[in-house]
Amino acid sequence: MSQDRLSEHLRTRRISRRTALSGAAAAAFLAACSKEVGTRSSGGGEDSEVPDELESSLNIFNWADYVNPKTYPQFEREMDVKITEDNYASNEDALAKLQAGAAGYDIVVPTGYMIEIMRQEGVLFELDHSKIPNLELVDSRFLDLAFDPGNRYSVPKDYGTTGFGYRSKFVKDEMTSWEDFYRLASKYSGRYTVLDSPPEVVGSALKMLGYSYNSTDPNEISEATDEIIKLKPHVRKITSSMREIMISGEAYISLTWNGEIGYVALDAADATYVVPAEGTEVWTDNWAIPADPPHPAAAHAFINWQLQPKVQAQDTEYH
């Protein structure tokens, strides 16, 4: 599927930020997942650092509300593994904690660009693909991406877009573009939120100016920075968790991920999500294992189990 067609697909679906991978969900019940964690396939090798024996615990470092409440209990029952979860608010928050020596985690769920950074920083564990046979069920569009060639350190979890949402109850202007988002800030001053994630905020300004979302040109980035500085006085809150203030009407317009507006719409039917006319990013979030995991076998088993079509479909329904 081309990038344009993929964006159109995203525009016409309510997909969560986080949402389950369509490739696996669409393949529901085409294949069953083996529960034999110790079974090796070609590519495993005798030097694997992942033991065959499954540990009894699994510690997950994840975004809040990012897994169907049924999922962890099902895994615990099927695999006799106890799961604990801690949460982070942004990719940068997760990176900072791992760099600071946060120990004891077996799973982390970074966005694509952060996988590359974490890989370069040496805070990720290289995956043993022989322990993740269900990787073959994942749509090839989401594999072998530039941030992790060969999926050596990550397995795709969800995909979606970055755009903006607004409450039409309060915003009477039609909003269809990044230009609208920036131009109307003074009119709705104090009613804006933006993500606490630099790539998305800078990317939005770059696209508004007609540049690549991924530009590294200093002059283009300088222009984008100027636009963001002009926007700043009108921003009520910099946050990745804007649901409550959007639902309450404290904020009207949010630079956010598609699924966040989906959550808002459950309580505020007038909430609208926009994929801006100038374009935006299609992101993926990914299962990964931090360096020195205490329970590497359980971590691989969980990732493989999560890739079952029926589990992916279950998470899709939740989001």
Contact 106, 293 (CB under 8 A): yes
Token pair of 170 as six digits = 């309060």
Q: Is the pLDDT of residue 101 over 50?
A: yes
Rounded CA-CA distance 182/204 in Å is 9
Distance between terminal CA atoms of the chain?
23
Q: Is the pLDDT of residue 46 over 70?
A: no
pLDDT tens digits for range 79-97: 999 999 999 988 999 999 9
Token pair of 89 as six digits = 């608010």
Rounded CA-CA distance 291/247 in Å is 39
- The 10 Å Cβ neighbour count of residue 254 is 29
Is 118 in a helix, a strand, or coil? Answer: helix
pLDDT at position 47, please?
59
pLDDT tens digits for range 112-162: 999 999 999 999 999 999 999 999 999 999 999 999 999 999 999 999 999
Q: Is the pLDDT of residue 39 over 50?
A: no
173 contact partners, CB below 8 Å, separation of at least 6 = 180, 184, 187
15 HSE (CA, 13 A, CB side): 28
Reported pTM = 0.77
Q: Is the pLDDT of residue 257 over 80?
A: yes
Question: Which domains, and CATH codes, for the chain?
Answer: 3-159+285-318 (3.40.190.10), 161-282 (3.40.190.10)
Burial class of residue 247 in the structure, from the number of CB atoms within 10 Å of its CB (0-12 exposed, 13-18 middle, 19+ buried): middle
Q: When comparing pLDDT for 89 and 56, which is higher?
A: 56
Question: What backbone torsions phi and psi does residue 167 show, to the nearest 5 degrees?
Answer: -95, 110
Q: Is the pLDDT of residue 32 over 90?
A: no
